[in-house]
Chain A
Amino acid sequence: MIGEIAHFLALASALGLILALIFNAFFYSVGRHSNQDILSYKLFHQSCLLIFISFGLYIYLAITDDFSISYIANHSNSQLPIFYKITSIWSAHEGSMFLWIVFLTLWSTLFISSLSFKHPLKKGTMLMLTIIILGFLLFLLITSNPFERILPFGVLEGADINPVLQDPALAIHPPLLYLGYVGFVISFSFITAYLFHGDIHYPWEKDIKNWSFVAWIFLTIGITLGSWWAYYELGWGGYWFWDPVENVALMPWLAATAFIHSLFASSKSNILKTWTLFLGILIFALSLFGAFIVRSGIIDSVHSFANDPQRGLYLLGFSGFITLISLGIFAYRLPNMQSSKLIVTGSKESFLSMNNILMLTAIFSIFLGVTYPLILEFINGDKVSIGPPYYNTIFAPLILMTSIFIMISLEALWQRGMQARTLLIAVTPTFVISSLILYFIWYFVQIFSLLAYIGIYSGLLIIISYLLKGAISLKNKTYINKGSFIAHLGLGLLFFAVSMNSILSYQKNINLFLGEQQFINNSITEFKFLDLQNIKASNHDVVSAEIFIVHDGQPIYLNPEKRKYFARGQITSETAIYATALKDTYLTIGDQLDDGSWTFSLQINYFIKWIWFSSALMVIGILMTIFKKKIS
């Protein structure tokens, strides 16, 4: 019964949105702000409320194990803790789409109520948001109904959530990621409304600045959590695989990063406005492209849901439709936006524009990497896959150029050029110090890899230039933007850590009997297989090994596990990690061989912690920027 009520509420919400759309479109053509507007606002907000109630009921159904609902029966289990019963909702297509829509609605209703009644863009923004929510709600109800019943009788026990997904980090990774993706619907709709409205002098940036920052934060945390989870759960020791689905998350992130930078310049100097508007549209368009890639199953990926041409076609059509509306209006207004003022070479804006171009190049390269296999297969039937070598080759030079521009723009001024001499004096110390450090790294490591060294050097350029700037401003007590300072240090550290990780990390496969010990290398002088235990847990069996390692003279005990889950009979490995500031000692247990010995995979991963830390720094930096705005 509750299932039907939830279903009915979702349908009612769709109906309410259709009415809101009709009213809104009608009153928009009338033009004035009138009392009738209140009606369409109310309709909009109440339709949103219906979606929230419907989702609330759905959570209730999942908690109470209503296995007559087909989706819940397929993805949950009565033995699961309540936390995972709830998170099982977004473990597959239908439920996660539902969550996506709930967040879409949440952002929309919050943003619309934050705009004052007389706000010139309120009606237009709401119109666009209504279209988008409605489009996805209909998609959910028509092609992927999460409320579907198993008729006439439900099953007694659910099929269980996939064990690798039974993990706190992964449980909150999709919601955060979705909050980020979907959060850019605000800038998308607001920009479309702004362009449609036609008053190009309206200072639109201030209304969506903090919304975009918050969405960026969610997107960044979402991506980082996914990467972190992959690192410790999957047992491959990697954190980023250039998988198509990771790529479609990275594209909006790059666009969003360019956007929040341009937003700052757009409101400051009026010159980068067209850039900013375009980027604002692009982010959400890329998010939609991502939804299409993941949910159509068109690309084979570890993340993708089942292949379904009907869903793919709907998503492609609808995403194309709203992106075209937005880009169409943008193209229509473009001639009015031509600024008589040109960007001064050597000004801060000029470097920002250069980095915008580099970001777009990066996005385009990823886009090509994701779609090229599809195009090639369509043309001549060859099946290919594009892996890390392609992306590494493309990204190394882009990162170096971006870093140099970031470094120079630190010295540049808004709207004013700089003299070559001042520039030279300012950046020479950074170049010298970075080169020296790079040389020392080579001297100690004695491993050479061109791409990795480009990455390390890029990271150093950013870190050193900001540290020098910080030291100078501390000494002279001059102003420095603390949020930007921290965020860029994070970026520099990210480049540095990723590249160092790639040259220093290594893996050893070991084959041992119980009680046996082995010498691995000069760093790991002892590897001893102490004990093996069989343990029974609530919903799985555990085989747990105890390993004693002497790593750089330090004794470490590690307990890698293998688990067998009852409900699906699936086997998972639990990695044992011993982390120090510099490196992780990362151990997974493999299979038992016929002769009774066991295989282990030992990985030494350098600078891994620094990668998560750098991403945290970027988030903190943006948080400080938001907070600073609030108090000033």
Chain B
Amino acid sequence: MLKNRKKRLQKFFIIMLLSAIGASLVLFALNSKLDLFYSPSEMLAADIKPGYRIKLGGMVEIDSIKREGTKVLFVVTDFEVKVPVSFDGIVPDLFKENSGVVVLGFYSDGLFVAEKIFAKHDENYMPPELTRQEPG
């Protein structure tokens, strides 16, 4: 009886140990693979290292979209600070001036180089933190 219980306890600890190792491995993978999300002000305040991939969400500033060959240049703003963004490729259909956008990419030396641009299916979409600050 006592032996049985000891055995069970052993089993329990082994299982706990293995699960703990598994969970920490997963968490480790998580931490190196996740992209932090910033608004323009947050991003400038956070001092991002070059080569560190992040997501930036804000509004596309009016009259800021310019094109150079296949490159698209525009400015993302939260009505406080502005971040110039460059993207090589075709922008989503819902990408337009004065509407919400989320870009994924790298920031260095005052320019955000986007790998991907997200615009919502919903044309009324806006990043949640901007709904409060929307003018008018």
Contact = CB atoms under 8 A, between A and B. Distances in A.
Answer yes or no: do A and B interact: yes
Interface of A: 162, 164, 235, 300, 302-303, 307, 361, 364-365, 368-369, 372-373, 382-387, 389-390, 393-394, 507, 509-511, 562, 568, 570-573, 588-591, 593-594, 599-601
* Top-9 shortest CB links A-B: A383-B37, A390-B33, A590-B90, A509-B70, A601-B90, A389-B33, A384-B34, A593-B67, A571-B93
A368 B26 contact: yes
Nearest to B124: A306
B64 to A, nearest CB: 14
Interface in B97-124: 104, 118, 120-123
B29 A599 contact: no
A393 B70 contact: no
B102 to A, nearest CB: 9
Given A368-B30, A573-B93, A591 B70 contact: no
Given A300-B128, A302-B120, A384-B35, 15 more contacts: A162-B122, A235-B93, A302-B118, A368-B27, A369-B30, A384-B34, A390-B30, A394-B26, A509-B88, A509-B90, A568-B123, A570-B94, A572-B93, A591-B67, A594-B67
A235 B90 contact: yes
Given A384-B36, A393-B33, A509 B121 contact: no
A502 to B, nearest CB: 16
Nearest to B69: A511
16 contacts: A303-B121, A307-B128, A368-B30, A373-B34, A382-B36, A385-B55, A387-B33, A387-B34, A389-B33, A390-B29, A509-B89, A510-B70, A511-B70, A562-B93, A570-B93, A599-B67
Nearest to B27: A368
Chain B interface main SS type: mixed
A228 B121 CA distance: 17
A302 B116 CA distance: 15
B16 interface: no
B123 A570 contact: yes
A318 B38 CA distance: 34
B91 interface: yes
A477 to B, nearest CB: 45
A588 B90 contact: yes
Contacts of B33: 386-387, 389-390, 393
Nearest to B66: A594
A361 B31 CA distance: 18
A17 to B, nearest CB: 34
A386 B55 contact: no
Contacts of B120: 302
Nearest to B121: A302
Given A164-B121, A386-B34, A390-B34, A599 B26 contact: no
Given A235-B90, A591-B91, A601-B89, A394 B34 contact: no
A303 B118 CA distance: 13
B36 A383 contact: yes
Contacts of B89: 507, 509, 601
Contacts of A393: 29, 33
A364 B22 CA distance: 11
A31 B65 CA distance: 73
